[in-house]
């Protein structure tokens, strides 16, 4: 993949609203907005799928492991997104708007706190899959952790979207924005994130999907279409309903 490709980085490519037909003026933040939309969708979806399977009596070890695989695709995107923000995106924003330094520190501190919740959710899923401990107690704790994580993420995203995102879109120069994307691409192996992109793009509008996939080299795009996207569809079809 080209080092300057900015359309294949779910955690790092900052964009417009999912499904928007007319992009907002300024830098195109499609990947950024798709990721925020994904975060708002997937966290409560895991809770619904867990609760629904438990109510139906189908939350066995196999179902939990499939849900865990799906959730790990999401956490790969989320962790990449947060790492990219802290290491590449916020410095570019602060170069354009230094007064946001305090906000950037708050967001980085929140990332660390959110990581603790991710670890707790992973532990709950592992415990459920191992079928150790009292299942109802473990599930109740896990659902509570997910609800808290969801609320914290909503507050976190609102802060970003109120303060950092407008600067990223409208005040960062096109040249600085392109340089940021190129820098992000240099440090990534495509196989770190391309397999997760079917999840990221699951509810994307066609134009957003093409924006994200259009820069892939032909061989990688062919593999995505023939391997990663069908594998993701099969995984989703095997999950408890949510």
Q: State mean pLDDT over 96-101.
A: 98
Contacts of 167 by beta carbon, 8 Å cutoff, 6+ apart: 93, 96, 97, 100
State yes or no: pLDDT of 9 exceeds 80: no
Contacts of 198 by beta carbon, 8 Å cutoff, 6+ apart: 224, 228, 229, 231, 232, 233
Cβ atoms of 162 and 98 closer than 8 Å: no
For all residues of the chain together, what is the average pLDDT? Answer: 88
Q: State mean pLDDT over 121-140.
A: 91
C-alpha 114, offset from chain centre? 13
pTM passes above 0.85: yes
Contacts of 148 by beta carbon, 8 Å cutoff, 6+ apart: 117
pLDDT at 25: 65
Cβ atoms of 118 and 46 closer than 8 Å: no
pLDDT band per the 50, 70, 90 thresholds, residue 190: confident
Question: Token digits for 111?
Answer: 């990332």
Q: What's the rounded Cα separation, in Å, for the pair 20 and 131?
A: 44
Q: Nearest CA to 222 among 212, 210, 213, 235? A: 213
pLDDT at 185: 83
pLDDT band per the 50, 70, 90 thresholds, residue 3: very low
Q: What's the rounded Cα separation, in Å, for the pair 52 and 57?
A: 9
Q: Nearest CA to 14 among 37, 38, 30? A: 30
Contacts of 22 by beta carbon, 8 Å cutoff, 6+ apart: none
Three-class SS string for 71-126? HHHHHHHHHHHHHHHHHHHHHHHHHHCHHHHHHHHHHHHHHHHHHHHHHHHHHHHH
Q: What's the rounded Cα separation, in Å, for the pair 178 and 161?
A: 20
High-pLDDT (> 70) share of the chain, %: 89
31-43: pLDDT as tens digits: 999 999 999 999 9
Q: Nearest CA to 111 among 79, 136, 143? A: 79
């Amino acid at each position: 993949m080209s080092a300057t490709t900015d359309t294949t980085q779910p955690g790092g490519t900052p964009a417009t609203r999912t499904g928007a037909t007319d992009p907002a003026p300024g830098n195109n933040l499609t990947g950024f907005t798709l990721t925020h939309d994904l975060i708002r969708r997937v966290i409560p979806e895991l809770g619904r799928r867990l609760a629904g399977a438990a109510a139906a009596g189908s939350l066995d070890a196999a179902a939990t492991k499939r849900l865990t695989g799906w959730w790990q695709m999401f956490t790969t995107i989320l962790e990449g997104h947060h790492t990219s923000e802290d290491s590449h995106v916020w410095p570019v924003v602060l170069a354009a708007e230094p007064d946001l330094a305090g906000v950037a520190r708050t967001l980085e501190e929140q990332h660390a706190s959110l990581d603790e919740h991710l670890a707790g959710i992973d532990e709950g899923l592992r415990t459920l899959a191992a079928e150790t401990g009292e299942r109802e107690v473990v599930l109740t704790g896990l659902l509570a952790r997910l609800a808290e994580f969801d609320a914290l993420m909503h507050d976190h995203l609102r802060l970003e979207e109120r303060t950092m995102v407008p600067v990223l879109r409208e005040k960062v120069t096109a040249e600085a924005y392109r340089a940021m994307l190129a820098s992000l691409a240099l440090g990534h192996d495509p196989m770190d994130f391309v397999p997760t992109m079917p999840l990221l793009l699951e509810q994307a509008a066609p134009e957003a999907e093409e924006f994200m996939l259009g820069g892939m080299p032909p061989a990688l795009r062919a593999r995505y279409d023939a391997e990663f996207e069908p594998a993701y569809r099969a995984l989703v079809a095997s999950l408890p309903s949510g």
